[in-house]
Amino acid sequence: MKKILSALIAASLAASIGLVSAAPSVEEVKADITAFQDYFKKKFPDVALEDYKDGVNVLPQYAERRANWEMLMEFPAYEEYAEQGVEEWSTPFANGKTFSDCFEGKPAGNQYPYVDDEGNLHTIETDIRDCLEANGEEKIKGSSQKMARLTVAYKMQANGQPVDIDYSSETMREYYEKGRQFYWAKRGQLNFSCADCHVLNAGNRVRGDVLSAALGHGTGFPVYRSKWGANSGKKPLGTIHRRYSGCNKQVRAANFKALSDEYLAVEVYETIMSMGVPIQVPSQRQ
């Protein structure tokens, strides 16, 4: 009896400090991806897998606003930011090295996040952060305009390539599981999970917005958002973690820092669910 009790206490302690249960197997993740993508195939039969890179713009419920988006895409406001990012990417550090030196031999933009041989998780943003540090350069914030521009500069080189994540490592599947639990857990004063809005209610309206499908999330990021450009001191470009933070705030839930373990896990989960969707960076959003 005593033994059972202490095992129970140990388990609930583990849960309360956020340790996740065992990582699912490769086969379980594979089955999850299939079920997830099939759900959207049934829900939106006319939307092809590759179209989900365009976010909400691809949903039939958004059709009337799509023309406006297509017009914006013809003369994309994000272009100057992408160009600036490319320039910053190739500007040598004080020691003469560049970002390209750090990224030599790294996976392409459609293969991020990845786990290295030592079991560390990398996103493009964490690699940019680590590269600056390794070269004795000044830190930049994980959600800053500069971080977004530099991420665009690297990721856009893989535009058109389908998301292709290697989840063979246990570490990757632990992050996946943590992200999955975060994604489906109700949170905030409004008691909504990410999945409530972007899976169960995808295509429905909330406060005048149409909710995008979770499938494809992240493939267009960093994005140029008209709203960010207009509202927040002209910071129109945003990383995926900036968007997560905005969504957490919408339901008045605690939001986490860019590059926090929580958002890294959500990024892993969303990206793995979007296997096969091509990336398109930067993208224009409302």
Interface with ligand HEC by CB under 6 A: which residues?
55-56, 192, 194, 196-198, 206, 209, 211-212, 217, 220, 223, 243-244, 247-248, 250-251, 266, 285
Give the residue closest to ligand HEC by C-beta.
Answer: 194
Note whether 179 and 240 are within 8 A (CB).
no
- Shortest distance in whole angstroms from residue 32 CB to ligand HEC: 16
From residue 207, alpha-carbon distances to 27, 108, 204, 227 in Å are 39, 37, 10, 15
Report d(CA 48, CA 83) in Å as an integer. 30
- Alpha-carbon gap, residue 214 to 167, rounded angstroms: 19
C-alpha span between 228 and 127 (Å, rounded):
25
Q: How near is the Cβ of 50 to ligand HEC at its closest, in Å?
A: 14
> Which residue type is seen at 223?
V
| Closer of 29 and 251 to ligand HEC (Cβ) | 251
Using the minimum distance from each CB to ligand HEC, give the nearer residue, 132 or 177.
177
Least separation in angstroms between residue 170's CB and ligand HEC is 23
> Among residues 150 and 194, whose Cβ is nearest to ligand HEC?
194
Q: Which is nearer to ligand HEC, 88 or 209 (by Cβ)?
A: 209
- Each as own residue / partner, the long-range contacts of residues 135-141 (CB below 8 Å, 24 or more positions apart, any chain) are 135/93, 135/94, 135/95, 135/97, 135/102, 136/93, 136/94, 136/95, 137/93, 137/94, 141/258
| Shortest Cβ 27–ligand HEC spacing (Å) | 25
CB of 97 or CB of 276, closer to ligand HEC: 276
The answer to whether the beta carbons of residues 123 and 265 sit under 8 Å apart is: no
